[in-house]
Amino acid sequence: MILHEFLSYEFLRVVWWLLLGVLLIGFALTDGFDLGVGALIPFVGRTDTERRVAINTVGPIWEGNQVWFILGGGAIFAAWPPLYAVSFSGFYLAMFAVLAALILRPVGFKYRSKRDSAAWRSAWDWALFVGGAVPALIFGVAMGNVLQGVPFDLNPDLLPLYPGVFWAKFLGLLNPFALLAGVVSLAMLVMHGAAWLSFKAEGPVAFRAQDIGFYAGIVAIVAYAGAGVWLNFIPGYAFVGDVPTDGPSNPLMSEVVRSDSWLAAYGTRPWIAIAPILGLFGMVMAARGLRAGRQGSTLLFSKLGIFGVISSVGLTMFPFILPSSLNPDASLTVWDSSSSHLTLFVMLVSAIIFMPMILAYTAWVYKVLWGKVTEDDVRSHSDSVY
């Protein structure tokens, strides 16, 4: 308990904001290439064997990669309960679409090779495409809406309210800026999946992945730069007066107003510009690597690009996590939407114990499964699950 008293509430809130970012980035870096490969399967494989090569590059590891997705959801639920309640209520249909698409992946992986039928296998290949492309797109659309402010309010009991017609609210999420953010996410993860296939596959599958991934990288770079320019015209959020960083978790106790562009943060904290620079640099180098046929470095640069892009959003918005377009005072921030001091401390202790175990297990799995997947491997195991 002495350590608990030493670690201030403000410090633990920032730590869990950082850890949430780490979990989301970890999900994008690992399960992100699974989604990208799924979106590429119908296009990089022209024969059943070629498509099985693509599937077998991710088949043994995709379930382990989803640990980061589960941890991210659990961290939101435990460390940021208001964020969990508001976001899952407001993005209900979007979350349902993501989960439905993700459910197609295990079913597609397990059922695809159960019948030796071209039509059967083609149908599951397109199901895997949906399972990869739809979540990648929706995650970006959700982030685009967060940057613009989500239309919610909080009543005096802190219950989230979403006034308006249900379908109109859902269609309102599909606005131009959010769709552009969705394009960034989809193109970026397709590029990441292509980099993975270039690294893990051989022959025609790798060559086609390199070609498609190069153009996906160009789209991601242009769309990301365009979103950055557009963001200059989207009002940001700011506190009125000083805000206690160790106060109670009640957003309604702070006064928030719409302010200058989100990009004003780069004037007050110029060091955060490193994030978008890394994002653009990583994607440019990954696209160049795909064009040149480089493998290991291309995958690393793709990961660097994803790290920079996601980090740029979090650093630009800090300390805001989920701003409200209806009532800025209801906006959720790092300082007023966390769990209790004790809860954050206990969670941090748990994270310190279990995160190294997860990282060690993940590293071990990748070491065991090191090496390329070839057509000969697939042909010699024609009765395998994948």
Q: Can you tell me the distance from the alpha carbon of 256 to that of 129, in angstroms, rounded to the nearest whole number?
A: 42
The pLDDT of residue 225 is above 90 = yes
pLDDT of 65: 85
How many helices and strands in the chain, by DSSP H and E?
16, 6
* Per-residue pLDDT tens over the stretch 103-135: 998 898 888 888 888 899 999 999 999 999 999
* Per-residue pLDDT tens over the stretch 157-183: 888 888 765 665 667 788 999 999 999
* Per-residue pLDDT tens over the stretch 72-93: 888 899 999 999 888 887 788 8
Whole-number Cα distances in Å, 227 to 184, 220, 273: 8, 10, 15
The pLDDT of residue 229 is above 70 = yes
pLDDT of 167: 61
- Averaged over 299-321, what is the pLDDT? 95
pLDDT of 383: 54
Domain ranges of the chain: 2-379
User: By CB neighbour count within 10 A (0-12 exposed, 13-18 middle, 19+ buried), where does 97 fall?
Assistant: middle
The pLDDT of residue 266 is above 60 = yes
The pLDDT of residue 386 is above 70 = no
Output the pTM of the full model: 0.92
The pLDDT of residue 302 is above 60 = yes
pLDDT of 272: 95
User: By CB neighbour count within 10 A (0-12 exposed, 13-18 middle, 19+ buried), where does 202 fall?
Assistant: middle
Six token digits for residue 232: 């200059």
pLDDT of 16: 95
Q: Can you tell me the distance from the alpha carbon of 110 to that of 114, in angstroms, rounded to the nearest whole number?
A: 8
pLDDT of 381: 67
The pLDDT of residue 4 is above 60 = no
Strand spans (E) along the chain:
153-154, 160-161, 235-239, 256-261, 320-322, 332-333
CA 348-140-57 angle, to 5 degrees, is 80
Whole-number Cα distances in Å, 198 to 87, 188, 204, 244, 371: 36, 15, 10, 50, 12
Contacts of 342 (CB under 8 A, 6+ apart): 4
The pLDDT of residue 246 is above 80 = yes
The pLDDT of residue 338 is above 70 = yes
Nearest one of 65, 19, 32, 15 to 355, comparing CA atoms: 19
Six token digits for residue 363: 């590293």
Q: Can you tell me the distance from the alpha carbon of 106 to that of 112, in angstroms, rounded to the nearest whole number?
A: 10
pLDDT of 96: 87
Q: Cis check for the bond before 319: say yes or no (omega within 30 of 0).
A: yes
Please tell me what DSSP assigns to residue 248. -
* Per-residue pLDDT tens over the stretch 58-71: 988 888 888 888 88
